[in-house]
């Protein structure tokens, strides 16, 4: 991961160093510093920008919507090239494609993706047969199996009661949907699912995983904890999932149709090595050291024999993430050089630097507060003294 480009850092540093009101967003020394569970400061301008995604469009009954730009399309209504029978590898499925949708051929078995994936945002649209046949679990039954293991139930529950934990939008046999927001049979229903698989380490759940489901835009599962793979009649058993698995769609004996199937992979959680969120102290320490190392690399590019300030500030900034004696020494030498430069200025020139000097003192205060430099750091003492001598803290 790359930090912000040097030019943008330079402008942030210049802003930080030269503007009296620079203690604002964009300054390196602004929000609460990193702590033992958060490697980033509050409003940290070193933190990577969110990736750009062009949003898609919503579907109508007549036309499927367009997926977001970074989606992996699993079925676009044309062919089943990305799917196979859920039997031996490479076995063709008997499901058919008709009118822009794939249709389950009863008795042909489940269908699965050839590719495997894990945590995702998944979009699936399905339609129960127009001709209503059967009741309860026998009417328009199919299922979306995340990683092939956990079923979000597909069922025609339009005017068709069944057991609550087997409704459309249920985590089958585990948790009923919070609402029945189904359209009439024959119409396409949309599932938008956020899935996080269980993560275990040496038999202990680091994160049990969870699933959130929207049915036609209505939330029906809200971060429901995953209690294991789902099944019929039997209570699920918690346990690890593999990292990835195929998406499966169920053949439950009804010609249910599907269209517009795509997913987006999700970034890792802290339990998978992700660095956003609440981290362990160990992971936080490692990430803080990495951020500091990258800042120090940038600092080296700011070296300027005529102006020690940008490099000094960048090095000081790195100390907020990670203490390092070498860096402390370098920053100290640069600050001495800067202070020596101030001594050569005429009183008028020095007065012209009042705002810069006061802001540098504020930065020192920030560094002391965050435990990055000691209270009696020479640079801070000198700046304090200079500001006191010139009475620059006095309110007009």
Q: What are phi and psi for residue 30, nearest 5 degrees?
A: -130, -75
Whole-angstrom distance, CA of residue 357 vs CA of residue 32:
22
**Residues recorded for the chain:** 396
- Closest residue to Mg ion, judged by C-beta, is 143
User: Smallest distance from the beta carbon of 153 to Mg ion, in angstroms?
Assistant: 5
User: Cα separation of 244 and 118, whole Å?
Assistant: 4
- Structural tokens at position 263: 């997913």
Name the site residues for Mg ion (rule: CB under 5 A).
141, 143, 250, 252
Q: At what angle do helices 309-321 and 325-343 cross, to 10 degrees?
A: 150
Virtual torsion, Cα 293, 296, 298, 299, nearest 10 deg = 170
53, 69 contact by CB (below 8 A): yes
Close Cβ partners of 114 (under 8 Å, ≥ 6 residues apart): 82, 83, 84, 246
> Which of 29, 145 has the CB closer to Mg ion?
145
Distances, alpha carbon 160 to alpha carbons 140, 276, 396, in Å:
10, 43, 77
DSSP reduced 3-state for 104: coil
**Closest to Mg ion by CB, 228 or 308:** 228
Query: Which residue is associated with the tokens 């490697």?
Result: 39
Shortest distance in whole angstroms from residue 151 CB to Mg ion? 6
Q: Where are the beta strands (DSSP E) in 19-71?
A: none
Task: Give 35: exposed, middle or buried? Use CB within 10 Å, 0-12, 13-18, 19+.
Answer: middle
Q: What are the structure tokens assigned to 363, written together?
A: 């930065």
With a CB cutoff of 8 Å and minimum separation 6, the contacts of 80 are 93, 95, 97, 102, 111
- 390-to-14, 85, 347, 393 alpha-carbon distances in Å: 24, 82, 10, 8
Q: Judge residue 281's burial from the number of C-beta atoms within 10 Å of its C-beta, 0-12 exposed, 13-18 middle, 19 or more buried.
A: exposed
Q: Which is nearer to Mg ion, 248 or 380 (CB)?
A: 248
């Amino acid at each position: 991961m790359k930090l912000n480009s040097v030019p943008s850092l330079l402008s942030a540093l210049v802003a930080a160093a030269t503007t009296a009101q620079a203690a604002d967003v964009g300054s390196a020394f602004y929000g609460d510093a990193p702590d033992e569970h958060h490697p980033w400061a509050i409003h940290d301008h070193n933190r990577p920008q969110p990736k750009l995604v062009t949003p898609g469009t919503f579907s109508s009954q007549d036309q499927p919507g367009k997926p977001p730009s970074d989606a992996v399309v699993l079925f676009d209504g044309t062919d089943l090239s990305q799917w196979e029978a859920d039997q031996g590898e490479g076995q063709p499925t008997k499901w058919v494609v008709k009118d822009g949708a794939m249709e389950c051929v009863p008795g042909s078995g489940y269908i699965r993706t050839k590719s495997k994936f894990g945590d995702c945002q998944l979009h699936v649209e399905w339609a129960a047969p127009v001709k209503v046949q059967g009741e309860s679990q026998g009417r328009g039954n199919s299922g979306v199996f995340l990683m092939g293991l956990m079923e979000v139930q597909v069922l025609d529950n339009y005017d068709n009661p069944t057991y609550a934990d087997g409704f459309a939008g249920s985590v089958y046999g585990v948790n009923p949907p919070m609402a029945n927001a189904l359209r009439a049979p024959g119409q396409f229903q949309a599932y938008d699912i956020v899935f996080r698989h269980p993560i275990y380490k040496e038999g202990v759940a680091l994160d049990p995983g969870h699933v959130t489901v929207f049915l036609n835009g209505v939330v029906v599962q809200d971060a429901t904890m995953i209690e294991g793979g789902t099944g019929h009649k039997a209570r699920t058993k918690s346990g690890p999932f593999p990292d990835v698995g195929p998406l499966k769609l169920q053949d439950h004996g009804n010609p249910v149709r599907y269209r517009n199937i795509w997913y987006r992979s999700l970034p890792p959680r802290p339990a998978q090595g992700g660095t956003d969120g609440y981290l362990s102290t160990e992971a936080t320490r490692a990430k803080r050291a990495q951020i500091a190392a990258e800042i120090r690399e940038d600092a080296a590019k700011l070296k300027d024999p005529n102006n020690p300030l940008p490099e000094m500030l960048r090095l000081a900034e790195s100390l907020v993430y990670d203490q390092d004696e070498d860096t402390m020494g370098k920053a100290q030498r640069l600050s001495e050089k800067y202070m020596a430069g101030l001594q050569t200025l005429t009183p008028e020139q020095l007065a012209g630097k009042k705002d810069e000097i006061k802001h540098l003192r504020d930065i020192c205060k920030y560094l002391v507060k965050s435990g990055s430099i000691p209270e009696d750091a020479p640079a801070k003492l000198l700046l304090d003294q200079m500001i006191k001598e010139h009475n620059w803290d006095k309110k007009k």
